[in-house]
């Protein structure tokens, strides 16, 4: 059986041919920060993994449920520019509109704060391409969504809970015209992640305190 770096690199190359992204395969975040092998797109909106998915997704695995793509609402958007018209399409999970959550669920923060998003959606083409690539490679595909917080979609060749070395993918959630990021590195120490904590809050709206 091919080793994990080769499996991930091969899958990332196939994804690059069908998506407007470049993927870097890495197994460390610096000289003193080793992590399980992963491939991330240049904007960190997509992650590709093998036996070890992102820690934040693992921590909230119990909130993930298998979904059918028909459960997601198709959104289309036309944006007019000087050079022409841009067409974008998204798949929204409507029950998460206005969801309240703690940002430490998504990031490596020791103390988070309450936040909301107006909507939780995922790029249609990215979802369909990765579903196709996993199905084409393994003959089966499972789509999982976290129904409690705006975490990445999770695409697998096997059900959650089954350990194997199949490729699995994470697709970051979006709200409005921005990606709302979860930390999708396979594993990061809090010491390493703390340096980025101050910049996280700009990606979310602080939610009103409940009455």
Compute the average pLDDT of residues 40-51.
Answer: 96
pLDDT of residue 1: 43
**Nearest Cα to Cα of residue 160 among 66, 97, 81, 71:** 66
Compute the average pLDDT of residues 171-196.
Answer: 88
Residue that the structure tokens 């990021």 belong to: 181
Q: How many CA atoms lie within 13 A of 155 on its CB side?
A: 24
What are the structural domain ranges in the chain?
4-206
pLDDT of residue 98: 93
pLDDT of residue 161: 84
Of 4 and 51, which is predicted with more confidence? 51
pLDDT at 211 over 60: no
Percentage of the residues of the chain whose pLDDT score is greater than 70: 92
Mean pLDDT of the chain: 89
Compute the average pLDDT of residues 115-127.
Answer: 95
pLDDT of residue 208: 64
CB of 48 closer than 8 Å to CB of 169:
yes
Minimum mean pLDDT range among 46-50, 121-125, 143-147, 204-208: 204-208
Binned at pLDDT 50, 70 and 90, residue 2 comes out as: low
CB of 157 closer than 8 Å to CB of 168:
yes
Return the SS3 of 49: strand
Rounded Cα distance between 155 and 171, Å, is: 8
Return the SS3 of 120: coil
Residues 6+ apart with CB under 8 A from 157: 134, 137, 138, 139, 140, 141, 142, 164, 166, 167, 168
Q: Is 156 exposed, middle or buried (0-12, 13-18, 19+ CB in 10 A)?
A: buried
Return the SS3 of 31: coil
pLDDT of residue 165: 80
Tens of pLDDT along 74-87?
999 877 667 777 78
């Amino acid at each position: 059986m091919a080793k994990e770096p080769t499996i991930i690199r091969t899958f990332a190359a196939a994804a690059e041919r069908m998506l407007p992204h470049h993927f870097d395969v890495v197994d460390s975040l610096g000289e003193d920060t080793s992590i399980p092998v992963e491939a991330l797109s240049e904007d960190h909106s997509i992650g590709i993994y093998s036996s070890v998915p992102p820690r934040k997704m693992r921590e909230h695995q119990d909130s993930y449920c298998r979904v059918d793509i028909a459960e997601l609402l198709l959104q289309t958007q036309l944006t007019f520019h000087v050079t022409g018209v841009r067409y974008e399409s998204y798949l929204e999970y409507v029950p998460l509109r206005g969801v309240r959550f703690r940002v430490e669920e998504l990031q490596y923060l020791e103390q988070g704060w309450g936040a909301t998003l107006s909507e939780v959606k995922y790029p249609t083409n990215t979802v369909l391409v990765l579903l196709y690539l996993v199905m084409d490679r393994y003959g089966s595909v499972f789509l999982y969504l976290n129904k409690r917080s705006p975490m990445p979609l999770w695409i697998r060749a096997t059900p959650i809970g089954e350990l194997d070395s199949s490729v699995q993918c994470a697709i970051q959630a979006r709200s409005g015209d921005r990606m709302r990021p979860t930390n999708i590195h396979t594993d990061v120490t809090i010491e390493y992640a703390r340096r980025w904590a101050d910049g996280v809050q700009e990606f979310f709206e602080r939610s009103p305190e409940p009455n």
